[in-house]
A and B are shown apart, each in its own frame.
Chain A
Amino acid sequence: LAKTTQPISMDSYEGQEVNITCSHNNIATNDYITWYQQFPSQGPRFIIQGYKTKVTNEVASLFIPADRKSSTLSLPRVSLSDTAVYYCPSSGGSYIPTFGRGTSLIVHP
């Protein structure tokens, strides 16, 4: 089963840009790359999705290199409220995302 790899935890400070990288070594041709954010005792929330190159929305940017073996979620000017777990689930071509351990981001004042 295809799995992604991401750092277990990251620390940052308010106002900084945070980049979280995910490794998609077994990504299938038809897989999209999707990132979710989860706060304690809440369901994951869709942040951004892309297939290749760069995607930007009102909350984040997603960078995907040509080989699609990795992706980088970029959060501009984080605030305390961005403290959460960030997931980049894989699906291995099955269309159903499998969640890995995620990256716990802590934003300090």
Chain B
Amino acid sequence: DTEVTQTPKHLVMGMTNKKSLKCEQHMGHRAMYWYKQKAKKPPELMFVYSYEKLSINESVPSRFSPECPNSSLLNLHLHALQPEDSALYLCASSQGAQEEYGYTFGSGTRLTVV
């Protein structure tokens, strides 16, 4: 298995809803990442998990809450989002938090906040 699987592929949520995005990989990678990508913009790093511990939080608002239950799973819990949070949310993984390994990205979750 050489893929990063993200679910759901599409999500529409209201500003008072609570929802979660899920990311899964079975490549034995020990670093996992969340990126946010707005239309026609590059991906922006949100969080980095290395060996299941949060190592980087790029000043992301608390309405986004990451969780890494085990080395294969990464969740992003969403609560009280704003319409401007609508974007493509990408999960990625790498063998370690070292650039020379290269990243494997999932296909993303297209989130729309109404």
Contacts and interface: CB of A to CB of B under 8 A. Distances in A.
Interface residues of B, number: 25
B30 interface: no
Interface in B100-114: 100, 102-108, 110
A43 B48 contact: no
A41 B107 CA distance: 7
Contacts of A46: 102-104
B107 A49 contact: no
Nearest to A85: B42
B111 to A, nearest CB: 12
A45 B4 CA distance: 11
Given A32-B99, A41-B88, 9 more contacts: A32-B100, A34-B102, A36-B105, A41-B107, A43-B106, A43-B107, A43-B108, A96-B48, A98-B45
